[in-house]
Amino acid sequence: MERKRIFDVIVIGSGAAGLGLTLEVAPHASVAVLSKGRLEENNTYYAQGGIAAVLDEKDSFESHIQDTLNAGAGLCDEEVVRFVVENGAEAIHRLAGLGVGFSRRSDSAGDRNFHLTREGGHSHRRIVHAADATGKAIETTLIGQARSLAGVTLLEYHNAVDLIRDQQKDGGRCVGVYAFDGRRGKVEAYGARAVVLATGGTSKVYLYTSNPDVSTGDGIALAWRTGCRVANMEFIQFHPTCLYHQDAKSFLVTEAVRGEGGKLLLPDGTRFMDDFDKGGELATRDIVARAIDHEMKRLGIDCVYLDISHRDADFIKSHFPTVYERCRQFGFDMANEPVPVVPAAHYTCGGVATDIDGRTDLEGLYAVGEVAWTGLHGANRIASNSLLECLVMSSAAGRDIVRRLPEIADPPDLRPWDESSVEDSDEEVVVSHNWDELRRFMWDYVGIVRTTKRLRRAKRRVDLLLAEIAEYYGNFRITNDLLELRNLAQVASLIIRSALKRRESRGLHYILDYPRPDDSAPPRNTVLDPAALDDNGMDAVSPRQDR
């Protein structure tokens, strides 16, 4: 039986942003959700801390807005910040109504009984959470809801190859996607009246990351190749506290541990964060990550330590059950001793340029969640605003799609994928070697602390890799590893080029050649436009302020 390949809406990505939009649209249209692995394998599922929202009578929208602007170091779009913050409580109540089991206060009842914690950069307790596995609680609930809807088709192990652009329309229009079915080993064309990128971030481009393996920048690379602008790609957030153990891979120790009194220590037990910022352990993530990086390099140590053992053991086990148990698996008892931690790539603050409804430069193409640059995060994301953005912006984009669908024609007949001129590769080792080389030089040259010399060295390396990958891609049949490598190399190039254009230190971008912010002019966003490249593929224009 021929499988359906034409839908009203195709959503690429199955995290909170993608599924949130799916639930918004599904009552009005047919929706296909493409996930390149299992539906649960995404950043949302592994998110521990929670969602920032104004839910306490002592808190206020203005306070949350100001905290976000302060963290963003002059590059937040205040209109977007206000929109997201003012819609946060509604998003929380909507999730609770769907059945997400948020932690509750034992001393209160009614509408305001959420247990709220505090994280870095926030002036109030406003982080609503489900113990220390908030993302898992949200993701499993959203998947359950999506599975129950007749108009939703869930396509697991489908990896987007390229977007399909209808050139017959004025300015072009996105009308579908070529997707690689990993189970069948085939690329097929899927058509839609609207396509949504909800693919998450790019942190797998670094050697050490808190993200799962799927975070390979796919949506940003797809949009760039289709002609969309990207912005502020130099602002990569490194989470200060990932568990340091050779077998722990990417396990994050939630920021809420510091929010509940955890202290960062040197190997001799000395606290050091007060030497770097008056906020101490609750300074913004860029400051804490740089402080740890500084101390590790100064002392030649492999890690620092996070200690919350002064709190009651029952409190630790009840508030951080996931972290506590995971640490025990690796031989650390956080109720009785400090645990070793290091920074790791965590979040992409830049992305595909969109408006407040999630619309990109290409008609019919939307981007929501971490893949998008909305102006919410500026030069540095404040803790727990990420899931908030996913929920609020996916609802906004979903409503816009529903409004526009009646005016949009069905997609045209799509050209089948042609692989008549390629063959099976007998050199898979090329892919694995290029993958390793890319992630290592990004970590060494484009990490927490940068220099112009390191960035230029990285650019030479990535340009060679891009040429090699393009040749390989043109001659051999597609595999998942090849698709991810192709996308990782593209986003690495965008990160490096953006970093070279910003000749100042601001937020998450810290460069020794320009160690202070440039206060001689209004802060500028770094916008890269594929339509504004010279013959050598270099940017023909300088950073722009316009959106």
**Mean of the pLDDT values across residues 90-109?**
85
pLDDT tier for residue 535 given thresholds of 50, 70 and 90:
very low
**Mean of the pLDDT values across residues 183-205?**
96
- Interatomic CA distance for residues 294 and 297, integer angstroms: 5
CA angle 360, 361, 362 (to 5 degrees): 90
Query: What is the pLDDT at residue 202?
Result: 96
The class of domain 428-517 in CATH terms is mainly alpha
**Mean of the pLDDT values across residues 269-277?**
96
pLDDT digits (tens, 9 = 90+) for 282-331: 888 888 999 998 999 899 998 999 999 999 999 999 989 989 999 999 99
**Taking 90 as the threshold, does the pLDDT of residue 43 lie above it?**
no
**Mean of the pLDDT values across residues 486-495?**
97
The most confident of the ranges 114-118, 169-173, 374-378 is 374-378
User: Which pair of structure tokens corresponds to residue 339?
Assistant: 């645990």
**Taking 80 as the threshold, does the pLDDT of residue 226 lie above it?**
yes
Catalytic annotation on 285? Answer: yes
pLDDT digits (tens, 9 = 90+) for 421-476: 777 776 777 888 898 999 999 998 999 999 999 999 999 999 999 999 998 888 88
DSSP letter assigned to residue 450: B
CATH topology of domain 239-345: Flavocytochrome C3; Chain A, domain 1 (3.90.700)
Averaged confidence pLDDT in the chain = 91
**By percentage, how much of the chain surpasses pLDDT 70?**
95
3-state secondary structure 63-100: HHHHHHHHHCCCCCCHHHHHHHHHCHHHHHHHHHHHCC
Catalytic residue among 165, 173, 258, 285: 285
C-beta separation of 230 from 528 below 8 A: yes
pLDDT digits (tens, 9 = 90+) for 381-433: 998 999 999 999 999 999 999 999 999 989 998 999 887 777 777 677 788 88
pLDDT digits (tens, 9 = 90+) for 233-257: 999 999 899 999 877 777 889 888 9
pLDDT tier for residue 10 given thresholds of 50, 70 and 90:
very high
SS3 percent helix, strand, coil of the chain, rounded to 5, is 35, 20, 45
**By percentage, how much of the chain surpasses pLDDT 90?**
74
Judge whether 239-345 and 428-517 match in fold. no
- Domain boundaries of the chain, sorted by first residue: 239-345, 428-517
